[in-house]
Amino acid sequence: MAKVEKPKTMMVWSGLVWSVHPLVQVPNQLVGAPVLTDVTLICNVEASPKAINYWQRENGEMIIAGDRYSLTEKENNMYSIEMILHIKRLQLTDFGGYKCISKNSIGDTEGTIRLYEMEREEAKGHKKIVRGGEEANEVGRTQGFIIHDIWLLQSDLHLGELPELIGLRTTTSASVAITTTIADSYA
């Protein structure tokens, strides 16, 4: 009997397939991104028979597809897939650990990705992050920004657009994100 070229996690001998538990590989175990940006987390899974794959937060909360979360599985071949979790408009509560979990009839395994907050560059067309208690219009004026749009980050609540919010002052410890451009006098 001739040996056929085999993938990493299963052996094929003249049509006979051996079952193996899933193998999860995480290309990037540490991923950083600023608040209000989009980020993509990826896990590669090899399994035979085919596995059930899903994402969880480190606290055990299962990730469900919705407005901000997109879940995709890209099949590379009959035993290998790429699990993709795309998170839109990152909030402070999104930072932390994510698990990609794979289970089949032979066993289960998981990979972990840690998502951490990066500071956003202050530049033309970028968002300016203001922590609670600072007066939004004063921050914009003193740093040469024109404030266009304000978001309350903890609840992803859109507070509105200026000029309606001139003089807004946050009264909680929640974070506020402000869409800005450089004021003409500073450009």
In the chain, where are the structural domains located? Answer: 12-117, 127-182
Give the Cα separation of 34 and 97 in Å (integer).
Answer: 16
Q: Which has more pLDDT, 43 or 12?
A: 43
Question: Is pLDDT of 182 > 70?
Answer: no
The pLDDT of residue 143 is above 70: no
8 Å CB contact between 23 and 83:
no
Looking at domain 12-117, what is its CATH homologous superfamily?
Immunoglobulins (2.60.40.10)
Mean of the pLDDT values across residues 100-120?
A: 95
Q: Computed from CA positions of residues 52, 55, 57, 58, in that sequence, does the dihedral angle turn out positive or negative?
A: positive
- Answer yes or no: is pLDDT of 20 > 70: yes
pLDDT of residue 166: 44
| pTM recorded for the entire structure | 0.60
pLDDT of residue 154: 46
H or E element, residue 148: strand 145-152
**Model confidence at 71: pLDDT above 50:** yes
Residue that is written with structure tokens 């929640």 in the block: 174
Q: pLDDT band for position 31 (50/70/90)?
A: very high
More confident residue, 120 or 21: 21
pLDDT at 16: 64
User: Comparing 44 with 171, which gets the higher pLDDT?
Assistant: 44
